[in-house]
Chains A and B, each alone.
Chain A
Amino acid sequence: ETGVTQSPTHLIKTRGQQVTLRCSSQSGHNTVSWYQQALGQGPQFIFQYYREEENGRGNFPPRFSGLQFPNYSSELNVNALELDDSALYLCASSSYRESTYEQYFGPGTRLTVT
């Protein structure tokens, strides 16, 4: 069974640029969630995708957008990058979208905005 994978591992971008982060969910999982973890903080929920549709969103502006593909992999896109977007971005997958289903986390993508 393959776990959750994310790419790239690290990324450096300039303020104002756009970035795309990728996540492959664990085998058999149809729900993917994205979290932002700033330094010294706990992960914060960005949004969740279930069967290719957005299924809940946290307190993040519209320049954070996402996609889920038929194979349940997912992308997180961030436009007009700001310095405060520098963080570890975590992807998590679960076998269903309900609150009692365990989420399995990937290793994260470290984004630095200069």
Chain B
Amino acid sequence: AQSVSQHNHHVILSEAASLELGCNYSYGGTVNLFWYVQYPGQHLQLLLKYFSGDPLVKGIKGFEAEFIKSKFSFNLRKPSVQWSDTAEYFCAVTVTGGGNKLTFGTGTQLKVEL
């Protein structure tokens, strides 16, 4: 069965700092990769996704992620964070041919200070 690891549970940054959140998955086959965000008091929403093609994917609000197959990683990046990026971030995978079942990591709580 697949699993997802997020290494940073809590991250505190100042505005304008750069962000990188780690995500590693374990599965030997083809995966589809997602980053979801949950802003305080709001629903989980999709930031970006990777299915195939260019391993560097761009999402909403200036976020991007790079799929490195050899490292089983899909790290999330943003060059300059804003206070409004304060939220919880979840990495997730589905397995091609395994139905639309998301396996999530434990999440990273990001706090951006002014």
Contacts and interface: CB of A to CB of B under 8 A. Distances in A.
Interface string A16-32: 00000000000000010
A106 interface: yes
Interface stretch (A35-43, A67-75, A77-85): A35-43
A105 B100 contact: no
Contact of B106 (A35, A42, A97, A99): A42
Interface string B29-45: 00010001000001111
Interface in B84-98: 90, 92, 94-98
B102 A33 contact: yes
B94 A100 contact: yes
Classify chain B: how many residues form its interface, as a range.
20 to 34
| Interface size range on A against B | 20 to 34
Contacts of A99: 32, 94-101
A58 interface: yes
A31 B102 contact: no
Contact of A103 (B100, B105, B107): B100
A102 B45 CA distance: 10
A56 B101 contact: yes
B44 A45 contact: no
Nearest to B99: A56
Contacts of B106: 40-42
9 contacts: A3-B43, A4-B43, A40-B106, A42-B104, A42-B105, A42-B106, A98-B100, A99-B101, A100-B51
Interface of B: 4, 6, 32, 36, 42-46, 49, 51, 90, 92, 94-107
Interface of A: 3-4, 31, 33, 35, 40-45, 48, 55-56, 58, 90, 92, 94, 96-103, 105-108
